[in-house]
Structure 1
């Protein structure tokens, strides 16, 4: 009985660490978008250096998952939880990497005047942040309905990216001098679109824990 209690506590601790990792990544995305919108190079550098803490926590979660599988030999839902936590942590870490890539775009543009007010990019960032929080909350609560609702929002993210792509391509055609910065902003949109995809992956893992079945939500 004591052994089972310790195992349950270890799973609960993992769940809490996944949530904390998600909050860290969410903050990274917010700061990276703010840095780009406000051309705040100091904040951009803060996002880049902050990635080390994200990586450290993900590595800690990975190590705990491996140790639990090796020492406890879990089965059924317990095993699904550990596998899902492991994969969710990887998706969150990759989202953190994309936040860093977004921050690096701010540094590449530097103090150059933006070719257009940023409207859809901040909308995308806000939406993927909402998705990521919804995803880790669904993980914490094992809420399949919440996970599916979050994944459905990825279509809106894709639509916003398509709008950004069309608008920036038109700007590049109209004024070749804007090509360089427009290309950077295209990359920014692509990074945010990829974050949305990783959020959807998190939803799939939550559904796997709850139902025991693999579901393709992308």
Structure 2
């Protein structure tokens, strides 16, 4: 009997580690999906895009497995304080990762359409944005694995650069559409792709915020850098 509490604590730590490992594995799948979707777009690689779409259900299955494990931990272990925060973090991070996987699949689907058009619109801006998003996503996932609050803050701050680049790309695509009506269809798809990348950046920031709270028990400021002013830009064009 004297050894029972130690056994229970050790068992719970093993369960938490398993949950942590599941999040890391899911994060790896999502990183790969975003990288491949971006490459498929820039290189017009329809086969790679198809593989991204094909693998999306695997990410969904990983999210379900994380949820089942986390709910089981909550029901059987009834964690409190730090332990409770980490279980809740895993649940929410898995949701963010699943959404990122969906956005990667959406990018892949639209990249197939883009590859079939004769448009020669430069994709350098989108390539730069995709690179920034991938860097921030990797840092966010590393933050979860390393429990590093400073890295979480770095992710939170870097979202501003992604938003600024998104606004620039949006204006460029509007200009292309106004110059030549034949650009409307490909530019519309590219706008959606840019928005998907911007949303991936937002979810990476969510992951950083959740991780910061799980580690410190404190929230990052309610206001975070956010600079999507495309709605204002459209309103100006319509005046």
* Common fold: TM-score over 0.5: yes
For residue 177 of structure 2, the aligned residue among 172, 175, 194 is 172
Equivalent residues of 2:37, 2:52 under 8 A apart: yes
Partner residue of 1:211 out of 216, 222, 232: 216
Which residue does the alignment assign to 1:35?
40
Kept after mapping to 1: 8 A contact 2:40/2:108: yes
Q: Any stretches of 5+ residues in structure 1 without a counterpart?
A: none
- Partners of 2:119 and 2:183 within 8 A in 1: no
In structure 1, what is the Cα distance between the partners aligned to 2:96 and 2:180? 38
Determine which of 137, 144, 167 is the counterpart of 1:132.
Answer: 137
Residue 107 of structure 1, CA deviation: 2.1
Please say which of residues 45-54 and 34-43 is displaced more in the overlay. Answer: 34-43
1:107 maps to which residue? 112
Alignment of 1:12-27 (within 5 A): 12-27=17-32
**Structure 1 residue 111 displacement after superposition:** 2.2
TM-score after normalising by structure 2: 0.88
Contact 1:65 1:85 in 2 (8 A): yes
Given the alignment of the two structures, is residue 78 of structure 1 paired with residue 83 of structure 2, yes or no? yes
**Runs of 5+ consecutive residues of structure 2 not aligned to the other structure:** 1-5, 226-239
Tell me how far apart the structure 2 counterparts of residues 121 and 189 of structure 1 sit (CA, whole Å). 7
Contact 1:115 1:181 in 2 (8 A): no
Q: How far apart, CA to CA, are the structure 1 residues paired with 2:7 and 2:141?
A: 29
How far apart are the structure 2 equivalents of 1:199 and 1:11? 22
Q: Which of 95, 98, 101 matches 1:96? A: 101
Report whether the alignment pairs 1:46 with 2:47.
no
Aligned counterpart, 1:8: 13
Q: For residue 192 of structure 1, what is the aligned residue in structure 2?
A: 197
Cα shift readout 1:189-214 (whole Å, capped 9, x = no counterpart)? 00000000000100110111112123
Q: Distance in 2 between matches of 1:211 and 1:18?
A: 19
CA distance in 2 between counterparts of 1:110 and 1:128 reads 22
- Aligned partners of 2:18 and 2:66: how far apart in 1? 10
Q: 1:117 Cα deviation (Å)? A: 2.2
User: Secondary structure at 1:153's aligned position in 2?
Assistant: helix
TM-score (norm 1): 0.96
Cα pair 1:115 1:182 within 8 Å, conserved: no
